[in-house]
Structure 1
């Protein structure tokens, strides 16, 4: 089972629990306190922590949780003072009945990793950190537009039924921007209404699915003329001749939206 633990103003710390034990793993614990509260309320023991990248809102709670439970910590290999198991692109890590494949997705940060696992009886799952959001993608703090474009293409190529668990509740803001580029997209309008209803009831808009993102996320669709033209117009620029250039224009348009 995968459950969101809200943190800060818009983070989710994902917790994985095991039906055969009282053990749990968490993904990107930027704050230890809500995790400790959830574990205590549900009589769970923390077995491990999975990190997608080094930003404090994904890692600040790791040391406190490690001190409390002496749990296993896995994440980008350069975080050698924080992790017990350094991970690189192509590695695997087993958590309960999942075998997660490590996918390097530089762009938001240079060290960003995503974690993908198939499941025999259920949909595949992806922990996408700050690379792929519902309706959006992470800002380019360290990487290039070309790196992020390639990273998103890797994720877009995953099975369409893959459930995507990202780390922020940015969906409504992302959809507001997406509509500005792609107002005639009926699937986008339907998803916007669905997510507005969820947020009105204080429910998370996650997980999303790869199939949904392929239909409505402008950062996976720079090849769509309407989207790229609209982004270029917002920037008062000529549309780029390359897909990477068009992606960069979409990202720049969102940054100033």
Structure 2
């Protein structure tokens, strides 16, 4: 089994996602369940970017990925990143972001998802995402984490190719023990925040930052429920006096 996540800018503006867009995506995700996904949820809403995430058996990965992209197409206020997808890597443009991670057999699937948004495609966002990936690798009860963000065309199973110009990356980590979600997420969030001009935001926050900055949301998908990790992380990092 895998956790698969696809991020895209399909909003009608450059800073936020409308409540109508969110509601439409959530409604249309039922079609992905019908394709065989175990869960399919709108996990992250970050500035003008959304991330749809699903748990899926390995042999249905391509079918479910295609289904997730179709949901984004059906729901889009603006084709945006969807227009960058191509069957040929040489023709691909700035497109959707993709992340997947393997889930250990016989373990109940839980996952952490980070969704990033930039206002001007700030190139250092790849370093930020890779910091979070590096933090999760090798941690106890972290089964797998998605691939590093690299400056090369990306093949998305069941969908096609996107170019290296694709920004606003997505990171996913599969977790084996529910009590380890906070530990692993804390490491990933802390690593990302250690980079310059990076800000953690709550799910659904508008991108009200100066150009040259990166925002990201952090969520957990557990038992079909989406948990906004920014809220407990803020509470846990308060300095007690």
The TM-score with structure 2 as length reference comes to: 0.33
Higher helix share: 1
Asked which structure has the greater RCO (Cα within 8 Å, sep 6+), the reply is 2
Computing the radius of gyration over CA atoms, which structure comes out larger, 1 or 2? 1
The TM-score with structure 1 as length reference comes to: 0.31
